[in-house]
Amino acid sequence: MNMLQKSSDVNISSRSKLPTPDEIHSELPLSLDCVAQVIRHRQEVFDILDGKDPRKIIVVGPCSIHDHTSALEYASKLAKISSEVNDKLMLIMRVYFEKPRTTVGWKGLIYDPDMNDEYNIEKGIRLSRQLMLEIVDKGLPVATETLDPILVQYLVDAVAWTAIGARTTESQPHRQLASGLSMAVGFKNATDGNMQIAIDAVNTARRQHSFIGVDGNGEVSVFRTTGNKYGHIVLRGGQGPNYEAEYIAFLKVAMKKAGLPPQIVIDCSHANSGKRFDRQKKVFCNVVDQIVAGENAIVGMMLESHLCEGRQDIAVGRKPLANVSVTDGCIGWQETEELIRYAHSKL
pLDDT in tens, 218-270: 999 999 999 999 999 999 999 999 999 999 999 999 999 999 999 999 999 99
Helix (H) or strand (E) holding 6: none
Residue 246 neighbours by CB under 8 Å, 6+ apart: none
Question: Which of 126, 122, 65 shows the shortest CA–CA distance to 99?
Answer: 65
> CA-to-CA distance for 203 and 207, rounded, in angstroms?
7
Q: pLDDT band at 132, cuts 50/70/90?
A: very high
Classified as helix, coil or strand, 275 is coil
Side chain identity, residue 250: F
> Residue 38: what pLDDT?
98
> CA-to-CA distance for 131 and 71, rounded, in angstroms?
8
Residue 141, Ramachandran bin (φ over 0: left; ψ between -120 and 50: alpha; else beta)? beta
Mean pLDDT in residue range 320-347: 96
> CA-to-CA distance for 57 and 301, rounded, in angstroms?
6
pLDDT in tens, 73-126: 999 999 999 999 999 999 999 999 998 777 778 899 999 999 988 899 999 999
Question: HSE of 87 in the Cβ direction (CA atoms, 13 Å)?
Answer: 6
Residue 86 neighbours by CB under 8 Å, 6+ apart: 55
The whole-model pTM stands at: 0.96
Give CA separation, 51 vs 46, 48, 219, in Å: 9, 5, 39
Strand partners, 214: 220
Say what percent of the chain tops pLDDT 70: 99
**Among 205-214, 247-256, 312-321, whose mean pLDDT is lowest?**
312-321
Mean pLDDT in residue range 323-332: 96
Side chain identity, residue 308: C
Residue 343 neighbours by CB under 8 Å, 6+ apart: 56, 58, 85, 88, 89, 284, 288, 301
Q: Is the pLDDT of residue 201 over 70?
A: yes
Side chain identity, residue 288: V
Classified as helix, coil or strand, 22 is helix
Question: First vs last Cα of the chain: how many Å apart?
Answer: 74
CB contact at 8 A, 124 and 97 = yes
